[in-house]
Structure 1
Amino acid sequence: MKPALPPPADGWPAIAELVPHAAPMCLLDTVLAIGPDWIRTGLAIRKDGPFCNDGRVGAWVGIEYMAQSAAALAGWEARQQGAAVRPGFLVGARRYLIHQPWFHCGEVLRIEAVRESGTGDGGLALLHGRIEAADGRLLAESTLSVFQPDRPETGLTS
């Protein structure tokens, strides 16, 4: 049985429209909410999902969940400005704190990415990421450094 996610708020685009990854590497299921400089996404851990072994996903994958949430925020902002969604790169993660070593099949996760600074000239930004269980328990958190070049094919900015 597929775990249930809360429905997204009306008007939010599908996650695939914001994150420039094709299946199966688009790991998020839905946009739950978006505000200025932040996004909340959701996903349900499934037995047939990428990285799932023996009914669980290692908490190390949470860094990618947070990075894809940051990408979804950048994609939303690009769409709001009438621009194309562009690829970006996870440069690093500082202080990745996990409060459980695994995400288990059937668990529903809420992932939040909040911009702390950046995305001005140079394309570099810092975001704080959090992963919570459906009941609000904090499962993991980190500060992510991300880079979004103007020309992803070369990795250069203007």
Structure 2
Amino acid sequence: MSQWPIAELIPHAGNMILIDQVLRFGDDDIETQLTVRNTGLFNLADGSLPAWVGIELMAQSVAAYAGCQARLLGEPVELGFLLGTRNFQCNVEHFPAGSLLHIHASRSLQDDNGMGVFECQLRGPGIEAFARLNVFRPPQVASYLQEDFQESQP
């Protein structure tokens, strides 16, 4: 289990934090979990989460992986970007309220420019989902965001 609260590992706040905790992390992978709460930003009327939210759960797990790595090195947790996913597959249409979900994300590629690819699995009672996430974390995220902001100004 992680020694840091999840809110200190990912650059989200409040209701946008969807995962509950890091169970384990290593050099190339992470395991997280959450219990589907029946109220939240993405919940359906019956309290369940649509299956497409699984992509965000996987992305937050990847963010937690980056946060754990940063904490180990004594560095600040920085913003990253989900660029997309390939071949998201899920055997259900929604995740029922109260379901305990486990997510495993394994890094398969990461380059010096901040690009990365993670193979992700989400499992729960009768639930299986898989995806490959493409992510990007610029080396100097603050200056990267400032450059884009300045370029977009008239």
TM class by smaller structure? 0.7 to 0.9
Q: Specify the alignment match of 1:51 in structure 2.
A: 42
Give the paired residue count.
144
TM superposition score normalised by structure 1: 0.86
Shift of 1:80: 1.0
Say which one has the larger Rg.
Answer: 2
One-letter amino acid matched to 2:6: I
Aligned residue for 1:79, secondary structure, equals helix
Q: Give the match for residue 16 of structure 1.
A: 7
CA RMSD after TM alignment:
1.5
Q: Which runs of 5+ in 1 are unaligned?
A: 1-8
Report SS of the residue matched to 1:13. Answer: coil
Runs of 4+ in 1 over 3 A off after TM superposition: none
Match of 1:141 among 100, 115, 130: 130
Deviates more, 1:85-94 or 1:30-39: 30-39
Query: How far has the Cα of 1:138 moved from its partner?
Result: 4.9
Query: Post-superposition shift, 1:82?
Result: 1.2
Distance 1:71 1:111 in 2: 12
Q: Given the two structures, how large is their TM-score scaled by the length of structure 2?
A: 0.88
State how far apart, in whole Å, the 2-side matches of 1:33 and 1:138 are: 21
Q: Does 1:85 align with 2:77?
A: yes
Q: Structure 2: where are the runs of 5+ without partners?
A: 148-154
Q: How far apart, in 1, do the equivalents of 2:9 and 2:83 lie? A: 19
The letter for the 1-side match of 2:78 is R
